[in-house]
Amino acid sequence: MTQVICNDNGSARRKRKTGDAMEKRDLCMECFSLEFPDIDRTSADRCQYCGAQAITSGTDFLALSMGVQQDRTMCFSCSQEFHRFTGKAMERFPDGLSQQEQLAAIGDLRELADKHMKQWVSKRGNG
């Protein structure tokens, strides 16, 4: 692996677990492409909801809860709204749900969150 560390403007942040430690690095787009050639930056550069410059990309925790590996890429505003919406919704999950009921609730929340985000972006005027 190429050892490149830079902090140019337009850097891409990347967190990676190495052993027991988390490693955080800021790379310019050129160095990011050299370090992680398997990642398609053309799709990861844009928010999946509004199309703005993405600041976060990572595993969709709702999908992962259901055993599906899926990434979610968002800009700052959409990330804040998505986590606000899903956090409030999960607070309303009743206590004592069985595993099957939890999976069903998370599946419903995934659909609700995507629908909410599309409506939120549309109302905001970016979609």
90-99 per-position pLDDT tens digit? 899 999 999 8
Domain identity same for 48 and 86: yes
**Where is average pLDDT lowest: 1-5, 15-19, 108-112, 119-123?**
1-5
Domain identity same for 35 and 48: no
pLDDT at 3: 45
Domain identity same for 31 and 51: no
Residue 39 has pLDDT above 60, yes or no: no
Domain identity same for 90 and 78: yes
pLDDT at 6: 58
Domain identity same for 102 and 50: yes
Range of the domain at 106: 42-124
pLDDT band, residue 63 (cuts 50/70/90): confident
- State the total domains in the chain: 2
Burial 10-42 (b: 16+ CB within 10 A, else e): eebeeeeeeeeeeeebebbeebbeebbeeeeee
Domain identity same for 108 and 67: yes
